[in-house]
Amino acid sequence: MNPKIEKLIKQFARLPRLGSRAAQRIVLALLQDKTGRAESLANALIDAATTIRPCPVCGVLTDVAAASCEFCRDSARANGQLCIVRDLADVWTLEKSAVFHGRYHILGGLLSGVAGTMPEDLNIATLPDRIHNENISEVIFALPNTVEGKTTQHYVMSIIGTDSGARFSELASGVPLGGDLDYLDDGTLSLAFGGRKEL
């Protein structure tokens, strides 16, 4: 196999949920396409890599030219609710289901002794100030229903503190043990959000 093609396949295979066979099919489709799709993809990737960065407030990916992301700039979302999620995929899932209309805070992962993820590796330190500055009245945890998710939730609650004035809640029925948000259908997610319970 040509070394350049092999290198490209290895790069695609490193992406989440893509194995070497799927990477091979993608590379072949791109290289055999005569419409310029490969060049368009390459240009879009370069453009995104050079102009997209995490929002300094919440962690949602946004344009470098913007001071903050679309969610933080939207005054209609300043409704006192802050939803804490693991990653951007969870934000996209919640937005697609249209069950939440407040603001987000992306942690960037979950605490895990096995994976070596420590509190300083996550976007946690700014939360107390953010809750105070944005007059947050409810912190909603939309983290996976796993040991790591619960551990992270309890740690974040201890950092925010009970004297913050905000109440804590988590998603209710419909989120199975060990479940991730991006595997839930919109109906189940709506029920889980609507029936969230106070902590």
Quick: pLDDT tens for 176-197: 555 566 555 565 666 566 667 6
Mean pLDDT score of the chain, rounded to an integer?
87
Q: Report residue 166 as tokens.
A: 């905000």
pLDDT, position 188: 60
Q: Is residue 64 very low, low, confident or very high in pLDDT (cuts 50, 70, 90)?
A: confident
Q: Is-contact 106 58, C-beta < 8 A? A: yes
**Domains along the chain?**
3-49 (1.10.8.420), 75-198 (3.40.1360.10)
pLDDT tens digit sequence for 70-89: 999 999 999 999 999 999 99
| 18 vs 106, more confident | 106
Query: Which of the residue ranges 31-40, 140-149, 172-181 would you say has the lowest mean pLDDT?
Result: 172-181
Average pLDDT on 91-117 reads 92
pTM strictly above 0.85: no
Q: Is residue 17 very low, low, confident or very high in pLDDT (cuts 50, 70, 90)?
A: confident
pLDDT tens digit sequence for 117-132: 999 999 999 999 999 9
pLDDT, position 162: 83
